[in-house]
A and B are shown apart, each in its own frame.
Chain A
Amino acid sequence: MVVDDRPIAPFNRRECAVAETHPAGGYRVFTLVDEQGPEPDPGQFYMLTAGDHWQGEAGRPYLPRAISVAAVTGNPGALRLMFLIDEVGPGTRLMAALEPGQTCLLAGPFGRPFSMPKALNPKAAGAILVGGGIGIAPLAILRRALVKRGVPSRTLLGFRDRAHSGGVDELFGCEETRLAFEDGSSGHRGYVTDLLLKVLAGDDPGGAVVYSCGPPMMLEAVRSICAESGTACELALESPMACGFGACFGCAVPKTDGTYLRLCVDGPVVSGDEIASAMAGEAA
């Protein structure tokens, strides 16, 4: 039986009060109060069901949705879990509409968290966080954990446009955060991976560790940049998930050896060399 040191989730699906909600750029932030769960590790996620409204639009959403925790405050017994929502369909639409006073069903925390830099590379001098779009959520909690441990980090974030980056100051603080916008509205015009290439060019690749989460195309670019430069990297991937705790085998992502990993158990954080491509889970 595999025993690992990830936080152990309470064996249930529990009702949690919505404490606070607000818009953040193109996204929506909401905070749940978890009275039972342990403090999650950065990179872990929860399975969420937005209370009574579930199964609203023509029978969907029916299943819970996987959502990364973006920040955690408070102590076990009254943890405040912050989530960042990108409205892309019926499930996220209901979560984005949550208001204080309502509740949300939650199970977790689940999944393999990010490793600390020294575990990935004993010579690591610091961490480079590369995020895009909604993928900034798990990097935000990772960054806070790194700051707490005194590990220096630089954050490179990419967005479609200025409007979508509204939550960045709140989640990351302004220091050591560099932004790229595809529409050139400010910061670097282009992709966040351009920034990564520049940073890596000025660094000793043997001393860098990269953490990334974002759209599959961005993750794949980060994976191949790191593979080419011999930089250790961890990627937080997505795949459709029905359960989040290894029951359905639906979250398969192809590995380099032709087998599949179960992303909810063996991920969502994977090391860059475990997978052939960060886009392979997208479709056959």
Chain B
Amino acid sequence: MDLSTEICGIPLDSPVLNGSGTFDPLAARRAFGDALIEDFPFAAFVSKTITRKTRVGNPPHRLWEAPSGLINSIGLPNPGLEAFVAGDLIELTGLPVPLIVSVMADSAEEFSLLVETISEVDGVAGIELNVSCPNVHSGLIVGEQPKETEALMKELRPLTDLPLIIKLTPNVANPHEVAIAAEAGGADGISMINTIKAAAIDRVHSRTWLGAGAGGLSGPAVRPIALAQVRAVSTAVEIPVIGMGGVEDADTALEFILAGARVVAIGTENFRDPQAGSKVRKGLAGALERRGFESLQAAQASTLS
């Protein structure tokens, strides 16, 4: 079965991407060698979130295992825009798949700088705007307010010809309101869900386990919430949705497509199985056939009754 598709005009061999911050091809290349490139697990690669300045990330602990899930407070460690463009970005544009760069900022000016700078680099296919990360005390959680979101999108839209994908936070009462505002402001696509605010208690020492105090939950534990939000958003907007939150295998990927996502992304499952992306891709044709779909497009076009 032909699994090729597209998102915001970016051609894809399959509807399987990675979630930002959950796979590092440069580190994976060191561990797995050229096999990583020969059988690259994703149809497009989404970089970890880049900020203007260097961030070292949060103090340990950064991880807590929850029932069928993971709470993380990594804190967006990244080399900062300048070093990223001069270093890692060059290697990422050499990957055998389209590259989407994720960026985050705490002001519209900084977002503009990030978008303009990244747009000038050859080989970048799209930009994902992280307005949702619950771990960082930016003071301005744009993605929680429809008006702020629309204003930011309007400011960034004229700055680039690249597709702008907005990554929504699930930590709001009505994510579809933010999605509608993002679409009105000129967003080309929506990526969701980011992690859900969560805490881990170290009962041995009566303190919070995570160095940053709290973090975000991901993995199968969040999947039912992600499916509900993907469904609500995809019925409210025309622009396509990249659905994620606990995708584990082809069957759960198909659930997201049936809920209204155009394509899916794998996050935490990559940690359990480095080849999770390929596993989902390889299983998808069978999963579609078992459910009576003649093509991926048929499943993408179907609506739930």
Contact = CB atoms under 8 A, between A and B. Distances in A.
A in complex with B: yes
Interface of A: 1-4, 6, 8-13, 49, 55, 58-64, 107, 110, 239-243, 245-254, 258-260, 262, 265, 280-284
Given A8-B33, A247-B24, A283-B211, A59 B60 contact: no
A243 B271 contact: yes
Interface string B45-64: 00010000000111111111
By CB atoms of chain A within 10 A, which of B32, B39, B91 has the most?
Answer: B32
B77 A260 contact: yes
Interface in B72-110: 72, 74, 77, 91
B26 A1 contact: yes
Contacts of A241: 63
B70 A240 contact: no
Interface size, B (range): 35 or more
A249 B28 contact: no
A262 B57 CA distance: 11
Contacts of A13: 272-275
B31 interface: yes
Contact of A63 (B21, B33, B70, B274): B70
A247 B74 CA distance: 11
A107 B57 contact: no
A254 B74 contact: no
A112 to B, nearest CB: 10
A10 B244 CA distance: 27
Given A107-B273, A284-B59, A246 B28 contact: yes
Interface in B166-220: 202, 205, 209, 211-212, 219-220
B27 A245 contact: yes
Contact of B57 (A243, A245, A260): A260
B31 A249 contact: no
A11 B39 contact: yes
A246 B61 contact: no
Contacts of B1: none
Contact of A4 (B30, B66, B74, B91): B30
17 contacts: A2-B30, A3-B30, A13-B275, A49-B272, A60-B67, A62-B69, A63-B272, A240-B61, A242-B268, A243-B270, A243-B271, A245-B28, A249-B57, A253-B60, A259-B56, A260-B57, A265-B31
B60 to A, nearest CB: 5
A259 B202 CA distance: 25
Given A248-B22, A249-B57, 15 more contacts: A1-B29, A8-B33, A9-B32, A11-B32, A11-B36, A62-B220, A63-B70, A64-B271, A107-B273, A241-B63, A247-B28, A250-B72, A252-B62, A262-B27, A280-B60
A11 B69 contact: no
B225 to A, nearest CB: 16
A193 to B, nearest CB: 24
A55 B35 CA distance: 29
B68 A55 contact: yes
A6 B60 CA distance: 27
Contacts of B74: 248-250
A147 to B, nearest CB: 28
B23 A247 contact: yes
Contacts of A59: 66-69, 221
Given A240-B61, A250-B72, A10 B35 contact: yes
